[in-house]
């Protein structure tokens, strides 16, 4: 048997620090579902998802029960729908969206991702139709998530697509105005979108993937926060340096990742599905004690957004990657710290206090693993300003050779400081102030492309 102190340390992590596996996401290739008609294609899509996923949720629950570690979310990602529905018009894509929604419901899945187009260099007619369908598709379905990749380090940023994103988000929010613009919470714009990310709303099953794979998202900001509190209490602040803190984060991430991969591999074995990657992300939830913002506070900034916040996120992101990469056989997805405003109670609180601005959040996204995530903004912010915020975020990703994303929610009828709540894992937050509104229209009106940066030419 192992040493008793090792056993008790693990018990503490699992039971008292609420270790869980944040998501197991089944990626399903739908490219072979395209049939001669829209109706036949939709049926083929539903049949294929049912074939692979009918036993997915029960199996995850069974393994979670066996190991005593909850699998919080069971999700499905599919091949970007713009490819599956090549040649479809807007109405056809809405039908496809509804089929995906039905298939998710049948599989007992709450969220399915992959209503997606990759348009970083140019847009096909199908891409344009899919983008145009997004405001209806997400408003008329419950479980569907959509993402559009508008930029990459290799190809630059498609500014025509970025301009369309501003309009799409506005329309989406208006179409779901009775739920506070919730539709926009299911829509995310990417630069360098990975094809194996298991986290929503940006999960897709990339075209480079096998027919079916299982990706796991481990999380655990609460586990890290509690272990940091413990080490600080045990050794005393004066006796610790930041490199000691980084080392502690690495050690904990190692354990968290090993648990996640163990469970993911068991599920994949039981379902006879190829195991993909572990995404080593710190993904907060609105639950008290499950916050990335809280880690920043423990590490020394009184409010998230205060000077030093960016440096702490950089250290956190790096330590999480280092601990996880050693623990896992295959790492992928986003892998790092998420800072989604509405989904993190401490971040939302900082917004309410005026400590965290969009500009500071943007700076922090230079060193976190995703971007401007779950950011509620006033409903009256114009489409060009939203597009310009997205362009800035995409530029960070493009130049820094990393994934960035923007999930902005213009909440209809609300202004800065008002509170919006979506409940559950989507959380709540005061609306963030957007400064310099209506000043970027001429920039967005250019269209065209921002060329890829010089350091992308490595071939």
Partner 1 sequence: MSKQMVISVMSKDRPGIIADITTVIFGLGGDLADLNQSVLGGYFTMILIAEFDNTVTPEDLLAGFSHIDSETKIEATIKEMSKSLETEKEKLPLETYIVTAQGENRKGLVKTMGEFFYSRNINVLDLVTTKEKQKYTMIFQVDLSPISSMNTFRQDLQNLADTENMDLVLQHNDIFMATNEIGIQLHTIIEN
Where does this chain touch partner 1 (CB under 8 A) — which range of 8-16, 200-208, 287-295, 367-375? Answer: 8-16
Distance CA 453, CA 192 (A): 13
Query: Binding-site residue total for partner 1 (CB under 8 A)?
Result: 26
**Binding flag, residue 322, partner 1 (CB under 8 A):** no
**Binding flag, residue 325, partner 1 (CB under 8 A):** no
Kindly report the backbone phi and psi dihedral angles of residue 148, in degrees, each rounded to the nearest multiple of 5, phi listed first. Answer: -125, 125
Q: Which of 128, 155, 226, 255 binds partner 1 (CB under 8 A)?
A: 255
CB within 8 A of 181, min separation 6: which ones?
172, 173, 174, 379, 409, 410, 411, 412, 420
**Binding flag, residue 330, partner 1 (CB under 8 A):** no
In this complex, which beta carbon is closest to partner 1, that of residue 2 or of residue 454? 2
Q: How far is the CB of 261 from partner 1 (least distance, A)?
A: 6
Tokens 């990459």 -> residue: 152
Distance CA 333, CA 406 (A): 16
In this complex, which beta carbon is closest to partner 1, that of residue 190 or of residue 254? 254
Residue in 324, 334, 309, 328 with CA at minimum distance from that of residue 250 = 324
**Binding flag, residue 17, partner 1 (CB under 8 A):** no
Q: How far is the CB of 107 from partner 1 (least distance, A)?
A: 23
**Binding flag, residue 15, partner 1 (CB under 8 A):** yes
The answer to whether 96 and 41 have CB atoms below 8 angstroms apart is yes
Distance CA 14, CA 3 (A): 17
Sign of the torsion formed by the C-alpha atoms of 83, 84, 89 and 93: negative
The answer to whether 420 and 429 have CB atoms below 8 angstroms apart is yes
Cross-strand bridge partners of residue 216: 24, 278
**Binding flag, residue 269, partner 1 (CB under 8 A):** yes
Q: How many residues does the chain have?
A: 459
The contact mask relative to partner 1 for 57-96 (x = CB under 8 A, - = no) is --------xxxxx---------------------------
Q: Which of 34, 43, 121, 265 binds partner 1 (CB under 8 A)?
A: 265
Residue in 334, 344, 346 with CA at minimum distance from that of residue 371 = 334
Where does this chain touch partner 1 (CB under 8 A) — which range of 181-189, 263-271, 375-383, 402-410? Answer: 263-271
Q: How far is the CB of 255 from partner 1 (least distance, A)?
A: 4
**Binding flag, residue 234, partner 1 (CB under 8 A):** no
Contacts to partner 1 by CB under 8 A: 1-2, 4, 6-8, 10-11, 13-15, 65-69, 254-255, 258-259, 261-262, 265-266, 269, 329
């Amino acid at each position: 048997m192992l040493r008793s102190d090792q056993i008790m340390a693990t018990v503490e992590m699992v039971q008292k620090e609420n270790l869980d596996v944040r998501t197991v996401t089944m990626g399903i290739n739908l490219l072979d579902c395209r049939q001669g008609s829209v109706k036949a294609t939709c049926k083929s899509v539903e049949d294929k998802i049912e074939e692979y996923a009918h036993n997915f949720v029960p199996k995850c629950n069974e393994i979670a029960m066996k190991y005593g570690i909850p699998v919080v979310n069971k999700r499905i990602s599919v091949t970007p729908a713009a490819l599956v529905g090549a040649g479809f018009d807007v109405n056809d894509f809405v039908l496809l969206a509804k089929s995906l929604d039905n298939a998710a419901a049948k599989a007992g899945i709450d969220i399915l991702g992959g209503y997606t187009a990759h348009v970083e260099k140019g847009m096909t007619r199908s891409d344009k139709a899919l983008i145009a369908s997004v405001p209806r598709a997400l408003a008329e379905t419950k479980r569907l998530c959509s993402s559009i990749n508008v930029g990459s380090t290799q190809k630059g940023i498609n500014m025509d697509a970025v301009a369309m994103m501003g309009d799409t988000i506005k329309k989406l929010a208006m179409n779901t105005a009775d739920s506070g613009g919730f539709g926009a919470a299911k829509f995310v714009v990417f630069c360098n979108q990975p094809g194996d990310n298991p986290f929503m709303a940006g999960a897709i099953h990339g075209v480079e993937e096998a027919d079916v794979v299982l990706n796991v998202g481990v999380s655990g900001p609460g586990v890290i926060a509690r272990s940091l509190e413990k080490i600080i209490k045990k050794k005393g602040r004066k006796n610790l340096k930041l490199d000691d803190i980084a080392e502690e984060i690495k050690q904990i991430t190692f354990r968290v990742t090993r648990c996640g991969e163990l469970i993911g591999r068991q599920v994949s074995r039981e379902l006879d599905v190829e195991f993909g990657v572990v995404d080593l992300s710190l993904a907060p939830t609105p639950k008290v004690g499950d916050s990335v913002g809280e880690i920043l506070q423990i590490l020394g900034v009184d409010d998230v957004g205060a000077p030093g916040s960016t440096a702490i996120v950089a250290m956190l992101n790096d330590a999480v990657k280092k601990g996880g990469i050693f623990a896992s056989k295959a790492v992928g997805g986003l892998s790092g710290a998420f800072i989604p405003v509405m989904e993190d109670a401490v971040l939302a609180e900082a917004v309410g206090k005026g400590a965290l601005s969009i500009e500071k959040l943007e700076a922090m996204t230079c060193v976190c693993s995703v971007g401007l995530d779950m950011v509620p903004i006033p409903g009256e912010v114009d489409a060009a300003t939203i597009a310009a915020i997205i362009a800035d975020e995409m530029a960070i990703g493009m130049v820094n050779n990393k994934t960035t994303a923007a999930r902005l929610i213009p909440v209809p009828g609300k202004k800065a400081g008002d509170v919006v709540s979506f409940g559950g894992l989507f959380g709540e937050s005061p609306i963030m102030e957007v400064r310099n509104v209506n000043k970027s229209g001429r920039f967005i009106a250019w269209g065209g492309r921002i060329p890829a940066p010089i350091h992308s030419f490595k071939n």
